[in-house]
Amino acid sequence: MRDLPLSHLRALAAVRAEGGVRAAARRLGVEHSAVSRSLRELERWLGAPLTRPGTRGGPLHLTAQGLALADAALRTMIDLSAATAAMREGSGTRSVSICTPPSIAARWLLPRLDRMQAECSGIEVSIVVDEMRMAPLDATVDLTLRMGPKPKTPLTVHELGDDAAYPVMGKAAWEHAGRPNNITALRDLPLLHNRDTNTAWDRWREVIGPADLDVRKGVRLTSSDLVLRAAEAGRGVTLERGWLEADAIRDGQLVRPFGDLSLPLPGEWWLAEGDNTSARHSVRQARDWLIAEGDRAA
């Protein structure tokens, strides 16, 4: 079971359910190329073809083996959806599941969780951490909170607000460096990088400068939370989203050495509803609270 390519099998099940790659992509909230790539990866893993050769751009035809596997995958996904929905409902009428990446969970959602539960009449929140970057939307989850490009999906998606990326560093490190306040100081400061192209130092260099900034230097980490932790520990200066940095700046752990200079990130944050969001009062409460909180942050 550990070796099963579950995400690829989910894509195959969606193709079977929706009748084609593009429709499956819309259902999963991803580009159609991602579904096609999943099918190819699944074929490589199986060592057997799933589809029959056809006219380019025409309908997709599954082989007999591919059809049997797709039917089995679809039945399994339907059973899993029913079982998880029943379990969530059975855990209490006040339960709400929110799926979000680790950095949003750690840096934005968890610090607001007590206030959210208090202001929403004691709802019980389950945070589902989404480890895969830009994973397909799961309609069985009550709410999905993300940042980045909004997906093409039949699910209801609310835009929460704009954001901006700006450099921050630990307060003690900033004072030790002589309280630099000009961007030319970036030449001598250690840089911290994550793998997000929207907050990449080469983009900052291109838009704001300095033009001779060596963006190859510095430590590279895999998440926004990690680079912000490194900045708080005095390991360097990082370029991150304001929504994720705001609490640490307010608490005095981080400072903005270059004032109001920033890269705009319009329409950056969004919230997707699951299939049954509108049917449950507790989920509607949580949805409306997150939308209002997004208005405050923006």
- Can you name the residues that pair with 159 across neighbouring β-strands? 270
| CATH code: domain of residue 118 | 3.40.190.290
In a domain, 171, yes or no: yes
pLDDT in tens, 66-104: 888 988 888 888 777 766 665 655 455 678 889 898 899
Domain count along the chain: 2
Q: Are residues 197 and 107 in the same domain?
A: yes
Same domain assignment for residues 58 and 142: no
Task: Please name which of 234, 172, 179, 226 lies closest in space to residue 199, comparing C-alpha atoms.
Answer: 226
The verdict on residue 255 lying in a domain is yes
Percent of the chain with pLDDT over 70: 91
Query: 12 and 123: one domain?
Result: no
Final residue belonging to a domain, choices 53, 88, 123: 88
pLDDT surpassing 50 at residue 55:
no
Q: For residue 21, what are its two tokens?
A: 């790659």
224 and 162 inside one domain: yes
Shared domain check, 250 and 111: yes
Half-sphere exposure of residue 146, counting CA atoms within 13 Å on the CB side? 22
Cis, bond preceding 102 (omega within 30 deg of 0): no
Sign of CA dihedral 256, 257, 259, 260: negative
188 and 259 both lie in a single domain: yes
Clarify whether residues 125 and 216 are in a common domain. yes
* Residue 138 shares a structural domain with residue 18: no
- State the chain's maximal CA–CA distance in angstroms: 70
153 shares a domain with 32: no
Q: Is residue 211 part of a domain?
A: yes
Let me know whether 157 and 24 are in one domain.
no
Q: Does residue 292 lie in a domain region?
A: yes
Cα 141 from Cα 260, distance rounded (Å): 37
Structure tokens at 178: 């002589």
Residues 84 and 100 in one domain: no
| Residue 78: inside a domain | yes
One domain for residues 118 and 16: no
Domain span holding position 56: 6-88
Residue 1 falls inside a structural domain = no
- pLDDT tens by residue, 9-34: 888 988 888 788 888 888 788 888 88
Is 147 contained in some domain? yes
| The pLDDT of residue 152 is above 50 | yes
Last residue of a domain, one of 47, 73, 88: 88
CATH number where 22 lies: 1.10.10.10
Domain end point (choices 47, 64, 88): 88
pLDDT of residue 61: 82
pLDDT band at residue 298 under the 50/70/90 scheme: low
